[in-house]
Amino acid sequence: MLTLTTNAPRLVITSLAFATFLTLSASAWAGAGHGPAKGEPQNQGHMMGAQGGDSHGPAGHHGMEIGAPGKAADVTRTIDVAMHDNYYKPEQITVKAGETIRFKITNKGEFLHEFGLGTAVMHKAHQKEMMKMWEHGMIEADRINRDKMMMDHGDGRGMKHDDPNSILLEPGKSGEVIWKFSKPVDLEFACNIPGHYESGMMGPIKFK
């Protein structure tokens, strides 16, 4: 990360980050509420923090380098991940380039948790989106308020959490993310519920 020694660059960085947030929000939420007419929804969804990052701000050069939503037929390995308050088991995950993995996620904690795949920059951007969802009452400490997700939030669109590289689970719930990894890149799995990443709910994805 950058080390900032004066206030001026900090202001520039902040406004850049904010601009990126707006861009990401716009693309991440676009289309919410009216999914693809056919095909696999998870291949047509909105990539957490990846879209809009191609030409705007710090998310810049990542894009699809993190891989792509995987097809069930291509899965060669399943990894079980348990989410607790506030940590994951296992604490780190090792994958091979080109591998398609089914992550079976179970929330064993008492709070709402996310399992999201991305770079540190993508997680940072997604944390802002999740904060916005929190502020709108769409998510609370231990639940998802789906009725509020479908509401019009002033711009004619609903908001919901349906990124293919991420899953949001209430206590006791299970789900899966199927992901095809591409070339080695610095990836993390993380929970972007406000405060969770900071308290250590993240781990590295290592390539072997």
Stretch that binds Cu ion, among 2-10, 16-24, 143-151, 184-192 (CB under 5 A): 184-192
Smallest separation (angstroms) from Cu ion to the CB of 171? 11
201 in contact with Cu ion (CB under 5 A): yes
Among 62, 113, 124, 161, binds Cu ion (CB under 5 A): 113
Based on the shown chain and the rule CB under 5 A, indicate whether residue 193 belongs to the binding site for Cu ion: yes
Give the residue, chosen from 196, 202, 203, 205, that forms a contact with Cu ion under the rule CB under 5 A.
196
- Residue closer to Cu ion, measured from CB, 87 or 207: 87
Is the distance from CB of 196 to CB of 188 less than 8 angstroms? no
Measured from the CB of residue 45, what is the shortest distance to Cu ion in angstroms? Answer: 21
In whole angstroms, give the CA distance from residue 194 to residue 208: 31
**191 makes contact with Cu ion (CB under 5 A):** yes
CB of 85 to Cu ion, least distance (A): 7
| One-character DSSP codes across the chain | -----SHHHHHHHHHHHHHHHHHHHHHHHTTTTS--SSS-HHHHS--TTTTT-SSSGGGTT-GGGG-EEPPGGG--EEEEEEEETTEEESS-EEE-TT-EEEEEEEE-SSS-EEEEEE-HHHHHHHHHHHHHHHHTTSEETTEE-HHHHTS--SSS-------TTEEEE-TT-EEEEEEE--S---EEEE--STTTTTTT-EEEEEE-
Instruction: Give yes or no for a cis peptide into 90 (omega within 30° of 0).
Output: yes
130 forms part of the interface with Cu ion (CB under 5 A): no
Q: Residue 130 or 205: which CB sits closer to Cu ion?
A: 130
Q: Which of residues 11-40 bind Cu ion (CB under 5 A)?
A: none
**Chain position whose Cβ is nearest to Cu ion:** 191
As measured in angstroms, the least distance from the Cβ of 113 to Cu ion is 4
Count of residues interacting with Cu ion (CB under 5 A): 5
Q: 23 or 106: whose CB is closer to Cu ion?
A: 106
Q: Near Cu ion by CB under 5 A, which window of 50-58, 89-97, 180-188, 198-206? A: 198-206
Rounded to whole angstroms, how far apart are CA atoms 25 and 48? 10
Residues that bind Cu ion (CB under 5 A): 113, 191, 193, 196, 201
